[in-house]
Amino acid sequence: MKSLVLTERNFRKHLVFAILAVVLGIIVRLTINEWLWVTLAIFMVVTAEVLNTVVESIVDLVVGERYEAAAKKAKDVAAGGVLLAAFFCGHYRLFCLYSRTTQVCLISTGGKIIG
């Protein structure tokens, strides 16, 4: 994990978003089921990023500095997996955390919509 944090910029970005999701979840007091979905989304993205890093490292080791169409395809597919996982996580945030945040805002303003 230390290597990922130190060498992979995108992994660090995903960790920051994971921490923000957890903090927001604490603020809006997610239910146990909602926490399970948050945990699933976070681990799905982190796992996809780890697998992407593995694929990229193996491809770089095998191919070296020369260009190979198959190597590019392998890297693109691995990156696409991360994108799909992040897309799922983003949709969850929009649908669940946004609605919970809106509820908390309405409760804190006495049910009045401000804006």
What is the chain's length?
115
Q: With the CA atoms of 86, 47, 41 and 8 taken in that order, what torsion angle do they form, in degrees rounded to the nearest 10?
A: -50
Set 8, 34, 49, 68: catalytic member: 49
SS (H, E, C) 55-86: HHHHHHHHHCCCCCHHHHHHHHHHHHHHHHHH
Judge whether 49 counts as a catalytic residue.
yes
Q: What residues act catalytically? A: 49
